[in-house]
Amino acid sequence: MISSMPRQKKADAFEVTCPHCNASLKVDPEVRAVIAHTPPVTPKTFADMEQAARAMREQEQRKESIFRQSVEAQKHQAETLEKKFQEAVKRAKEAPDTVKIRDFDLD
């Protein structure tokens, strides 16, 4: 049986660029879904191996520097805590322990 109704032209899929990641998305309007995804081209981080090796050496130097700073801070922290402890012991020896008598205790 041949239908007397005219057929609608099938809509072609269209491409859209994602505003977030710049990927290319192919959308089918008939099913209202993304049917293809092309990730964006990412540029190379380094132009050549020498530049990459230099960056790795610099990063190692930064890590070593940060580690040395951390070790020094820990050394000073131990000294500071020791001084605070000695001061607290000194104050504890100088101030006698007094128990305050409360009115409740006299009953």
pLDDT in tens, 2-24: 555 555 567 788 999 988 888 99
Residue pair 81/72 in contact (Cβ under 8 Å)? The answer is no
Percent of the chain with pLDDT over 90: 33
Structure letter (DSSP) for residue 95? S
Give percent of the chain above pLDDT 70: 90
Please state whether beta strands 14-17 and 24-28 pair in parallel, antiparallel, or not at all (unpaired).
Answer: antiparallel
pLDDT at 1: 47
At 46-75, the pLDDT tens digits run: 888 999 999 999 999 999 999 999 998 888
Average confidence (pLDDT) over 21-30: 89
Look up residue 5 and give its DSSP letter. S
* Angstrom distances, CA of residue 23 to CA of 14, 30, 37, 95: 14, 21, 7, 73
Sign of the torsion formed by the C-alpha atoms of 90, 91, 96 and 99 = negative
